[in-house]
């Protein structure tokens, strides 16, 4: 890519993980603020595990930044069922020589003011230290998750609170995780995922600061807990909500969605999307379709071909078979006057900010939660993997801004239950309460990002650290 750096500007290097678009997007929004508001120069250095990189390139190319994709490294020797907590750090370990070489090159041409690494990439802090470059973690998920990570007992603890006999985990404040809501990576303190999680959290302590994509008023108890750790952890900088902004590239097929929404009544449409990689099983996919049909409400559904492994699509290409082939017979014809089904990228932020959108069924990724909050859209929480079940607890029990699905004894969310939830969210009493709560949170988020807001002040503090100034 053609150089886009100003040698007179503070130079920040960002290290997101490979493949995970949900991590890259907050990095991009963070970089855009640095470039456009504070005249920084930004360079993205992206490790590569051999996954397709076209989607990442498409997001980065329009930006006034440099981006470099490192040579692919293989993790084929890892067990096939290795979780993301194992896969990602191993990719970084095997990319360290290339990271070292690139940082050395960039630092010679334009002195690096700071290295900002993803929550899966703290091993790169050691490389930054070799060049005396300050290193920061960009924690793109909740402060509650970060607080939990710093409170995890070491694996050798014989009475681990989070061992495989644990039935609940207490989060910051009064929130409690019950049984299956505990993330898989910390459910059993004897497995490798737990050990890698502990190692990552311990390495966060080596950073010069931790930038969090959240805001004080959203997760007050979590930030209070982090503050109580004092000097044992780095300074915490809440700068969120940083969410994907609209762009001129949001054309077809996104324009089809917006044109369709333009024809719908205010707050009448339920938007359904499970993010960039999560998938439903065939049976659950069918139940969701039938539940939407039973509800009789308008819907905009982004479909993905079902897979039995919920997270498989994060790490592999989509199946050749179209997701439309899995829909119930006659579904599209029966719902053509009420619903729109798409199987490709859509402009989610535009959809959530549209006046016709009245609710959002989401897997509770942190980006999706922040987008819902910023736009004041009430949520049906349907968590599937990773820390998403914990996010659902934050959203429902903590913030009172969502209604959560319930699975039957076989782990299936049934069509009748789905229909009832849709009706409740769009026109029921509980739905009205959730709508009011989301509207309140929308105003709080706007205040956090205002000129004198908590997140703006925190962002300026980071900028001052990197520029060596006291005024911005």
Q: What is the DSSP string of 303-367?
A: -----SSTTHHHHSPPPSS-GGGGSPTTHHHHTTTTEEEE-S---HHHHHHSTTEEEEEE---HH
Q: Is the dihedral of CA 261, 266, 268, 269 positive or negative?
A: positive
Euclidean distance between CA atoms 109 and 394, whole angstroms: 45
- Is 354 an active-site residue? no
Euclidean distance between CA atoms 18 and 245, whole angstroms: 21
Euclidean distance between CA atoms 192 and 271, whole angstroms: 37
Euclidean distance between CA atoms 58 and 67, whole angstroms: 11
Tokens read off for 376:
């004041």
Residue 161 C-alpha from the chain's centroid: 26
Burial of 340 (0-12, 13-18, 19+ CB in 10 A): buried
Given 42, 49, 118, 188, which residue is catalytic?
A: 118
Element (H, E) at 147: helix 143-150
- Is 397 an active-site residue? no
Bridge partners of 140, per DSSP, are none
Euclidean distance between CA atoms 411 and 407, whole angstroms: 5
Coil, helix or strand at residue 71: coil
Distances (CA, A) of 153 to 213, 227, 329, 403: 25, 19, 51, 32
Euclidean distance between CA atoms 256 and 350, whole angstroms: 12
Residues 30/40, Cβ–Cβ less than 8 Å: no
The label of the residue with tokens 């456009």 reads 36
Tokens read off for 172:
């910051």
Give the Cβ contact number of residue 109 at 10 Å.
12
Helix axes 84-109, 192-204, angle to 10 degrees: 30
Burial of 173 (0-12, 13-18, 19+ CB in 10 A): middle
Q: Give the residue among 21, 13, 17 at the shortest CA–CA distance from 91.
A: 17
Compute φ and ψ for 412, nearest 5 degrees. Answer: -105, 135
The label of the residue with tokens 């907590």 reads 85
Given 23, 297, 354, 388, which residue is catalytic?
A: 23
The set of catalytic residues is: 23, 118
């Amino acid at each position: 890519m053609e150089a886009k750096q100003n040698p007179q500007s503070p130079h920040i290097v960002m290290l997101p993980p490979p493949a995970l678009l949900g991590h890259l997007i907050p990095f991009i929004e963070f970089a855009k603020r640095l470039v456009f508001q504070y005249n920084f120069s930004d360079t993205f250095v992206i490790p590569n595990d051999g996954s397709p990189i076209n989607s990442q390139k498409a997001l980065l190319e329009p930006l006034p930044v440099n981006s470099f994709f490192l040579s692919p490294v293989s993790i084929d020797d890892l067990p096939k069922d290795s979780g993301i907590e194992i896969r990602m750090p191993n990719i970084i370990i095997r990319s360290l020589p290339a990271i070292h070489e690139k940082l050395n090159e960039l630092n010679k041409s334009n002195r690096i003011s700071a290295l900002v690494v993803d929550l899966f990439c703290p091993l790169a802090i050691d490389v930054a230290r070799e060049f005396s470059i300050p290193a920061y973690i960009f924690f793109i998920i909740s402060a509650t998750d970060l607080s939990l990570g710093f409170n995890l007992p070491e694996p050798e603890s014989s009475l681990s609170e989070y061992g495989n006999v644990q039935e609940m985990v207490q989060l910051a404040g009064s929130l409690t995780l019950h049984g299956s809501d505990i993330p898989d990576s910390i459910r059993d303190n004897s497995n490798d995922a737990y050990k890698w999680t502990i190692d990552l959290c311990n390495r966060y302590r080596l950073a010069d600061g931790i930038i969090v994509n959240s805001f004080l008023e959203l997760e007050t108890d979590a930030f209070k807990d982090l503050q109580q750790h004092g000097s044992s952890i780095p300074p915490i900088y809440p700068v969120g909500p940083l969410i994907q902004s609209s762009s001129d590239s949001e054309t077809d097929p996104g324009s089809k969605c917006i044109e369709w929404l333009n024809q719908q009544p205010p707050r009448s449409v339920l938007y359904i999307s499970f993010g960039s990689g999560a998938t439903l099983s065939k049976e659950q996919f069918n139940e969701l379709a039938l539940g939407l049909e039973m509800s009789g409400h308008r819907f905009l559904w982004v479909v993905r071909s079902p897979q039995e492994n919920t997270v498989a699509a994060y790490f592999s290409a989509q199946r050749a078979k179209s997701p439309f082939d899995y829909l119930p017979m006659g579904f599209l014809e029966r719902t053509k006057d009420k619903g729109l089904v798409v199987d490709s990228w859509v402009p989610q932020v535009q959809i959530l900010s549209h006046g016709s959108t009245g609710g959002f069924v989401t897997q509770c990724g942190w980006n999706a939660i922040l987008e819902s909050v910023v736009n004041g859209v009430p949520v049906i929480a349907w968590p599937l993997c990773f820390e998403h079940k914990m996010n659902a607890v934050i959203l429902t029990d903590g913030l009172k801004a969502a209604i959560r699905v319930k699975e039957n004894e076989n782990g299936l969310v049934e069509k009748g239950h789905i229909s009832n939830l849709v009706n409740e969210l769009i026109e029921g009493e509980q739905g009205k309460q959730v709508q009011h709560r989301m509207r309140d949170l929308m105003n709080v988020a706007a205040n956090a990002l205002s000129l004198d807001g908590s997140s703006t002040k925190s962002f300026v503090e980071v900028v001052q650290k990197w520029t060596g100034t006291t005024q911005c």
